Chains A and B, each alone.
Chain A
Amino acid sequence: AQRVTQPEKLLSVFKGAPVELKCNYSYSGSPELFWYVQYSRQRLQLLLRHISRESIKGFTADLNKGETSFHLKKPFAQEEDSAMYYCALSFNQAGTALIFGKGTTLSVSS
């Protein structure tokens, strides 16, 4: 069965420290992977998608099919990065909805 695993419930770092939020997936085909973010009192929103290979707000994520991972990274954390981050998998390009992981809370303190 398709599954997304985010092993950390909470990640606490200091401002300026590197951040890596882990995401592993289980899927036998070619997945599409995404990171969604929810800031305090805001809606869940797309942060980035692997097919775009883009950097958003300094975050990047590389799909590693060998390790079935899609970790989210940022070299220097900022306090405004504090939020809940969800990794999500789409396994049907015809439009089947996303499967989300349980999420990781990132807390950045000064």
Chain B
Amino acid sequence: DTGVSQDPRHKITKRGQNVTFRCDPISEHNRLYWYRQTLGQGPEFLTYFQNEAQLEKSRLLSDRFSAERPKGSFSTLEIQRTEQGDSAMYLCASSLQGYTGELFFGEGSRLTVL
């Protein structure tokens, strides 16, 4: 297991297009988190799953954003009708239940909206 993996690593798209990011967590981790990071900012929480259940969503997650984790393993984050303000690094992290605060992060998917 090489840790949390994210795909694609980089995505350039035109405004108005839809994009989808995939995250594969560490295999035994049942919690999965999505964060967004823009230049000069720390990671901002978007949403998290415990197994396949989406337990919390940030108000940052507008209606254009949707996340799924259908079988409790990998997750996808879709952004519909992208806007230039969506340009950011999208980070995925996973952890074990029995919360310790240790999140294991992926390398991120960088989105550029032209």
Interface residues of B (CB under 8 A from A): 3-4, 31, 33, 35, 40-45, 48, 50, 55-56, 91, 93, 97, 99-107
Do B56 and A100 touch across chains, with their CB atoms under 8 A apart?
A: no
Q: Report which of B31, B55, B91 forms a contact with A44, defined as CB distance below 8 A.
A: B91
A96 to B91, CA, bound (A): 16
Interface residues of A: mostly helix, strand, loop or mixed?
loop
Give the complex CA separation of A103 and B37 in angstroms.
11
Given contacts A6-B42, A100-B42, 18 further A-B contacts (CB under 8 A): A4-B42, A9-B40, A32-B101, A43-B107, A44-B43, A44-B91, A44-B105, A46-B101, A86-B42, A88-B101, A93-B99, A95-B31, A95-B99, A96-B48, A97-B33, A97-B103, A98-B103, A100-B44
Contacts of B99 in A (CB 8 A): 90, 93-95
Name the residue of chain B whose CB is nearest to the CB of A96.
B56
The A67-108 residues at the B interface (CB cut-off 8 A) are 86, 88, 90, 93-103
Q: Chain B CB within 10 Å — which of A44, A86, A90 has the most?
A: A44
